[in-house]
Amino acid sequence: MSSNNSVMVFIQQDDGKVADVSVELLSKARDLADQLKVSVTGALMGSGIKGEAEKLIPYGVDEIFVIDDKRLIDYTPVPYTKIMIEVIKKVKPQIALYGATTTGRDLGPRVASNLKVGLTADCTSLEIGDYTSRGVDYSNILYQIRPAFGGNIVATIVSPEKKPQMATVREGVMKVGTQDPGYKGKVTPFTVDLVDTDFPSTVIKKMKEEKLVDLKGAQIIIAGGMGVGSKENFDLILELAHVLGGEVGASRAAVDAGFVSKEHQVGQTGTTVRPKLYIACGISGSIQHRAGMDESARIIAINTDHEAPIFQIAHYGIVGDLNDVIPKFIKAFKAKD
C-alpha cells in the first residue's frame, strides 16, 4: 500500500525507548486507516533506534521512517520540527498524530505553524466522518473531539481544507491494539540534511524523579475533589487508599487548591486512568475529569449534592458527606473477614 495519503504518527522516544502514547496512537491510527482504506506510517527520530522501530510493525504499521543521528538523542524543537516537516512533505499523510506530551505539545504546533495546517490539542476522541461547509461536501474527514472552555463543553473540530489534519492526543486515552507478529511492514531510513545551526538548544541536564505515584498502573483509585474541603480532610482519602491497597487520585480543583500534589491529578490535563474501581469523593465530575476516568470498570461516587454530574456515570452512588461515608466504608472493608 502506498504511504501517501496515510495516517501518520510521530513516534516519540525518550532515552531510546518508544513512549507508551506513541504505541496507543499507532493502534488508533490502524483503526482510522482501516476506515479510510489507507496505510499507517510512523516517523521516528533519535539515535540508534532502528530496533525500536521494528518492534512497532506488529501493531499494524506499514512503514516507519527512521531518522538516526547522534545529535537527535534528546528532543529539542528546532531539528525535530525540521525533520517532521520534511517527512510530511515527502510522505504526504492525510492525518498526522502526536502524543499530547511535553514533547508532542512542543513539536506539533511548530509543524502546524510552518505548514499552515490545523492542529487540535488534547483530543480525547478521534472519528472519521463527513462535513459540509458553505455548500462544499467533505467526506472522510477527521473529527477531532476535545473538551473545551474549562471542561464545560465538548467541541468537535475539523480542518477539512488542509492536509495533513493534525491532532495531539492525551496519553492513556487510546487503547493499545493487539499485535500481529506476522504483519508485513517496513522500516525505511530517511535522511535530512542537518547542520550545526539546526541544534541551538543543548540539554545540559535531565532529571527524572522516581515515580512515586502510579495512577496508570493502579487497579483501585480513590480520588478526592473540592468537596474534600481541606488538605487535612484529604488524610481520609489517603487512609481509604491505604486500606484498600489503592492509589490516590484527585480532580484538578483539588490539586489547584493545594490539597494534594499534581502527580495525583486525573483528567484531561492529568492522567487518564482505567482501574477496576474508581471511588470519586467530593468530585462533582466536570467533563475534563470524566474524560480521564469514565472508562473505569466500576465507579463509586460519594457526594453531598445528589445532582452532581458524577452520579450520571457512576455504578454506585452515595449521597452524603465523605467524612461520614468513608469511615463506614473502611469499617465494612476491615470487617470482611
Partner 1 sequence: MGLNLIVLVKQVPDTQNVGGDAMKEDGTVNRAVLPAIFNPEDLHALESALVVKDQNPGSTVSVITMGPPSAVQVLKDSLYRGADYVALISDRKFAGADTLATSYALKCAIEKIGKYDIVFCGRQAIDGDTAQVGPQTAEKLGINQITNVSQIESVDAKKKEIQARRSIEGGYEIIKAPFPILLTITDEGYTPRPPSVIRVMTYKNASAEMTEQGYDESYIDSSVDRISETAINLWDINAIGAEIESCGLAGSPTKVKKIESIVLKSEDIKMVENTEDSISDMVHELISDHTLG
| Inter-residue contact 191 to 197 (CB < 8 Å) | no
101, 251, 265, 272: residue in contact with partner 1 (rule CB under 8 A) = 101
Interface of this chain with partner 1, residues 202 to 241, rule: CB under 8 A: 202-209, 211, 220
Write the DSSP assignment of 26-92 as a string of letters: HHHHHHHHHHHT--EEEEEEESS-HHHHHHHGGGT-SEEEEEE-GGGSS--HHHHHHHHHHHHHHH-
**Per rule CB under 8 A, is residue 4 in the interface with partner 1?**
no
36, 131, 177, 194: residue in contact with partner 1 (rule CB under 8 A) = 131
**Per rule CB under 8 A, is residue 177 in the interface with partner 1?**
no
C-alpha cell at 155: 467541541
73, 244, 295, 323: residue in contact with partner 1 (rule CB under 8 A) = 244
Question: What are the residues whose beta carbons fall under 8 Å from the beta carbon of 336, sequence distance 6 or more?
Answer: none
Rounded to a whole number of angstroms, the minimum distance from the CB of residue 290 to partner 1 is 8
Cβ-based nearer residue to partner 1, 3 or 13: 13
**Per rule CB under 8 A, is residue 128 in the interface with partner 1?**
no
Cβ-based nearer residue to partner 1, 182 or 245: 245
143, 190, 234, 259: residue in contact with partner 1 (rule CB under 8 A) = 143
Q: How far is CA 200 from CA 44, 78, 203, in A?
A: 21, 7, 10
Rounded to a whole number of angstroms, the minimum distance from the CB of residue 300 to partner 1 is 8
Half-sphere exposure of 317 (CA within 13 A, CB side): 16
Cβ-based nearer residue to partner 1, 116 or 184: 116
Rounded to a whole number of angstroms, the minimum distance from the CB of residue 140 to partner 1 is 14
Q: How far is CA 304 from CA 228, 239, 281, 284, in A?
A: 11, 20, 10, 9
DSSP 266: B
- Strands 277-281 and 247-250, by their bridges, are unpaired
Cβ-based nearer residue to partner 1, 186 or 331: 331
**Per rule CB under 8 A, is residue 119 in the interface with partner 1?**
yes
Interface of this chain with partner 1, residues 20 to 79, rule: CB under 8 A: 74, 76-78
What does the alpha-carbon distance between residue 141 and residue 255 come to, in Å, rounded to a whole number?
37
17, 51, 261, 316: residue in contact with partner 1 (rule CB under 8 A) = 316
**Per rule CB under 8 A, is residue 112 in the interface with partner 1?**
yes
How many residues of this chain bind partner 1 (CB under 8 A)?
88
Cβ-based nearer residue to partner 1, 50 or 331: 331
Cβ-based nearer residue to partner 1, 27 or 284: 284
Interface of this chain with partner 1, residues 247 to 306, rule: CB under 8 A: 256, 268-269, 276-277, 287, 290, 297-298, 300
What does the alpha-carbon distance between residue 149 and residue 189 come to, in Å, rounded to a whole number?
42
**Per rule CB under 8 A, is residue 108 in the interface with partner 1?**
yes
What does the alpha-carbon distance between residue 274 and residue 75 come to, in Å, rounded to a whole number?
29
**Per rule CB under 8 A, is residue 81 in the interface with partner 1?**
yes
Select the span of 37-45, 49-57, 186-194, 314-322 touching partner 1 (CB under 8 A).
314-322
Half-sphere exposure of 204 (CA within 13 A, CB side): 2
DSSP 316: E
In SS3 terms, 85-114 reads as HHHHHHHCCCEEEEECCCCHHHHHHHHHHH
Rounded to a whole number of angstroms, the minimum distance from the CB of residue 180 to partner 1 is 30
Interface of this chain with partner 1, residues 178 to 197, rule: CB under 8 A: none
